[in-house]
């Protein structure tokens, strides 16, 4: 599947992009031969047939070389710098989103039609209808407003850490954390809304079931039966949704990274599309395909761990 996705990514971007336009119309004009040699160097010269370009690219990628960007930088180097920025955001965001979402869903289901449930339902409906970019912008403005009110910069809205920062490693950690809060929140909030809706309904199904009544009857307290018998069953479909929703998260990253000025894979993707950078775009697509598949694998493992029926098979 990764092979398929990367093939699709490379071929589509090769078809859609015109790398030559980066050099044309420059003043003074660049001679045609120079452009050609530059394009050859990147391996994206349209004069060469698409399939042979693709074969070269695949050959290099298999040996771990993603080629050069339009700016003639090593794609591998860019990836190794940016991948951690994005992963920090995505992993934290998805963990926070799924854990808090599942928790909220359980609480809403147990107190169905209570005040918590109603507030959570309305809030998640509103959050699910708000696109990531609007949410990120609103968070950013809200944070700036809070900063102005309390008179110090508590939330940082640009970058991963302050560039002019000096201090010991603990201060640096705190500083990074202050930068991390808002982007992570903007990714996690959507996840919380998404998971809490599904978890609430899955939990409601389970709450009325016979085996939960049996668990109560044999003398478990409400809480014990809920966590050991109820949640364990109700959380199973969530594991499958986790794989699906990870694609959603990957889609959110370009917006969040652009709005909060993070130099991660997502913001790189946007720059790469704008500059007709076939090699960089293909690298980002491989990255996201790997992520989506890894999350699917994780979901399968989680299901196997929770569900004895799957393990036996």
Partner 1 sequence: MSTEKRITRGVLIRRRFMRNKLAVAGIVILVLMFLLAFVGPFFSKYRWDELDFLALLQPPSSSHWFGTSQIGGDVFALTVRGLQKSLIIGLLVAVFSTGLAAIAGGFAGYLGGKVDRTVMWMIDALLVLPSFLIIAVLSPLYRGRTWLVFVVLLAAFGWMVTARIVRSATMSLRERDFVRAAQYMGVPAHKIVFRHLLPNVASILIIDATLNVGATILSETGLSYLGFGIQPPDVSLGSLIADGTASALTYPWLFMFAGSALVLTVLAVSFIGDGLRDAFDPGSARSKNI
CA distance 77 to 283: 12
* Structure tokens belonging to residue 69: 């960007």
Under 8 Å between Cβ of 127 and 139:
no
Alpha helices, DSSP H only, in 111-227?
Answer: 115-128, 132-150, 169-207, 210-217, 222-225
CA distance 68 to 302: 38
Nearer residue to partner 1 within complex by CB, 103 or 247: 247
CA distance 127 to 132: 9
Residue 269 lies near partner 1 (rule: CB under 8 A): yes
Choose which of 96, 99, 233, 273 interacts with partner 1 (CB under 8 A). Answer: 273
Peptide bond into 28 cis (omega under 30): yes
- Displacement of CA 42 from its chain's centroid (Å): 29
Residue 18 lies near partner 1 (rule: CB under 8 A): yes
Residue 276 lies near partner 1 (rule: CB under 8 A): yes
With CA atoms as reference, report the closest residue to 237 among 211, 204, 198: 198
Residue 236 lies near partner 1 (rule: CB under 8 A): no
Length of the chain: 313
Neighbour count for residue 259 (Cβ, 10 Å): 22
Choose which of 106, 110, 292, 299 interacts with partner 1 (CB under 8 A). Answer: 292
Choose which of 13, 86, 279, 295 interacts with partner 1 (CB under 8 A). Answer: 13
Neighbour count for residue 25 (Cβ, 10 Å): 8
The residues in 155-214 that bind partner 1, with binding defined as CB under 8 A, are: 194, 197-198, 201-202, 204-205
Residue 50 lies near partner 1 (rule: CB under 8 A): no
Q: Taking contact as CB under 8 A, which single stretch among the options 55-63, 96-104, 158-166, 245-253 is the one that binds partner 1?
A: 245-253
User: Least distance to partner 1 from the beta carbon of 270, Å?
Assistant: 6
Fill in the per-residue mask, 129 to 148: x = in contact with partner 1 (CB under 8 A), - = not in contact.
xxxxxx--xx--x--x----
Residue 79 lies near partner 1 (rule: CB under 8 A): no
Binding residues for partner 1, per CB under 8 A? 1-2, 4-5, 8-9, 12-13, 15-18, 125-126, 128-134, 137-138, 141, 144, 194, 197-198, 201-202, 204-205, 247-248, 250-251, 254-255, 258, 269-270, 273-274, 276, 281, 284-285, 288-289, 292-293
């Amino acid at each position: 599947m990764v092979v398929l996705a990367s093939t699709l990514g490379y071929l589509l971007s090769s078809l859609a992009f015109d790398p030559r336009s980066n050099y044309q119309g420059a003043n003074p004009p660049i001679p045609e031969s120079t452009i050609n040699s530059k394009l050859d160097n990147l391996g994206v010269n349209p004069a060469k047939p698409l399939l042979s370009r693709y074969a070269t690219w695949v050959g290099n990628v298999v040996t771990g070389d993603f080629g050069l960007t339009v700016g003639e930088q090593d794609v591998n180097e860019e990836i190794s710098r940016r991948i951690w920025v994005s992963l920090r955001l995505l992993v934290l965001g998805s963990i926070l989103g799924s854990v808090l979402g599942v928790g909220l869903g359980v609480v809403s289901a147990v107190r169905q039609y209570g005040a918590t449930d109603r507030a959570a339902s309305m809030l998640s409906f509103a959050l699910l209808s708000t696109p990531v970019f609007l949410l990120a912008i609103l968070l950013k403005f809200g944070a700036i407003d809070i900063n102005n009110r309390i008179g110090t910069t508590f939330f940082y809205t640009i970058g991963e850490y302050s560039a002019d920062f000096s201090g010991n490693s603990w201060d640096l950690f705190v500083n990074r954390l202050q930068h991390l809060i808002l982007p992570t929140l903007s990714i996690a909030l959507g996840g919380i809304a998404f998971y809490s809706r599904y978890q609430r309904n899955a939990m409601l199904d389970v709450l009325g079931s016979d085996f939960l009544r049996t668990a109560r009857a044999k003398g478990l307290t409400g809480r014990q039966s809920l966590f050991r018998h109820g949640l364990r069953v109700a959380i199973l479909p969530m594991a499958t949704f986790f794989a699906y929703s990870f694609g959603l998260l990957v889609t959110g990253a370009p917006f969040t990274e652009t709005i909060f000025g993070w130099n991660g894979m997502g913001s790189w993707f946007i720059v790469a599309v704008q500059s007709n950078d076939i090699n960089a775009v293909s690298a980002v697509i491989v990255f996201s395909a790997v992520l989506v598949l890894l999350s699917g694998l994780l979901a399968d493992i989680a299901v196997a761990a929770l569900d004895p029926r799957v393990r036996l098979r």
